[in-house]
Amino acid sequence: MKVTLLQTDICWTDVDENLRRAEEMINVADDADLFILPEMFSTGFVTEPVAAAEPVGGKTMQWLKETAVKKGCALCGSVAVNDGGRFFNRLYFVKPDGTVNHYDKRHLFSYGGEHKHFTAGEKRAIVEHCGVKILLQVCYDLRFPVFSRNNAANPYDMIIYVANWPESRIDVWNTLLKARAIENQCYVAGVNRVGDDPVCHYSGGTAFIDPYGKIIARCADNQPDAISAVVDMERLMAFRKKFPVLQDAD
């Protein structure tokens, strides 16, 4: 499975402009089976979502579906959603036929006030695409390894972390992405943004990491960029067979 990670510069709460930027990056990139966008890629990280959140099936959701079908690929990115009067930081995974899966962010960023207006998700989500099982995660979830723990009974092959992770804590981002790959014996796609919002500066750090904790590809810092990598299932299965870490997990 070929994966392309899109490190975008998000224009604060300007949905039309951010969708235009995302579409432009997808159109100039080579074909891929999956394109991944950052957390709240159409608005920026809003912690007070009343004005910015979209209804279920809103403009960003429709764009994701239309683009996935048109390009014949899967698309993944999170959106601030108003679902029945409750707000969720919802990570959508849209397949090439328009089928939609989603995960609601479990660990809300209380330091930034996200917990005051958003509702936490209650369960993990693993989706399958091109024969690869993928765990969906959002930003702050990266700090909580128990919730993302892989296991032999229901294993996954890759984790997606979409984020608005500020430059001031980028060393943590870089370290924990590698840790999640190593301890879960899986690929990790960490997709962060660049640019500024009213509170933070974002330098990127978007990277694709293999099950050994090695960075296969990484975006340039402080600029919009796209990188591609391949999930090699034969290599992953051979590694797990040779070094069966998961069967010894707690």
H or E segment to which residue 100 belongs? strand 100-104
CA end-to-end distance (rounded Å), the chain: 30
Alpha carbon 136 to its chain centroid, in Å, reads: 7
The full 3-state SS of 180-204, as one line of letters, equals HHHHHCCEEEEECCEEECCCCEEEC
Separation of alpha carbons 39 and 128, rounded Å: 20
Tokens for 70, please give them: 């048109």
The CB density around residue 18, as the number of other CB atoms within 10 Å, is 24
- Asked if 204 contacts 3 with a C-beta cutoff of 8 angstroms, the reply is no
Separation of alpha carbons 180 and 149, rounded Å: 8
The amino acid sitting at 48 is E
The amino acid sitting at 42 is S
Indicate the pairing of strand 100-104 with strand 126-129: unpaired
Q: Per the residue annotation, which of 65, 95, 105, 178 is the catalytic one?
A: 105
Tokens for 43, please give them: 């608005």
Per the annotation, the verdict on 39 as an active-site residue is yes
Q: Per the residue annotation, which of 73, 76, 139, 219 is the catalytic one?
A: 139
Per the annotation, the verdict on 95 as an active-site residue is no
What are the DSSP calls for 215-241, one per residue? EEEEPPTTS-EEEEEE--HHHHHHHHH
Helices 59-71 + 15-28 axis angle, to 10 = 10
Tokens for 91, please give them: 């990570």
Per the annotation, the verdict on 130 as an active-site residue is no
Q: Per the residue annotation, which of 39, 54, 114, 167 is the catalytic one?
A: 39
Query: Which residues are catalytic, by number?
Result: 39, 105, 139
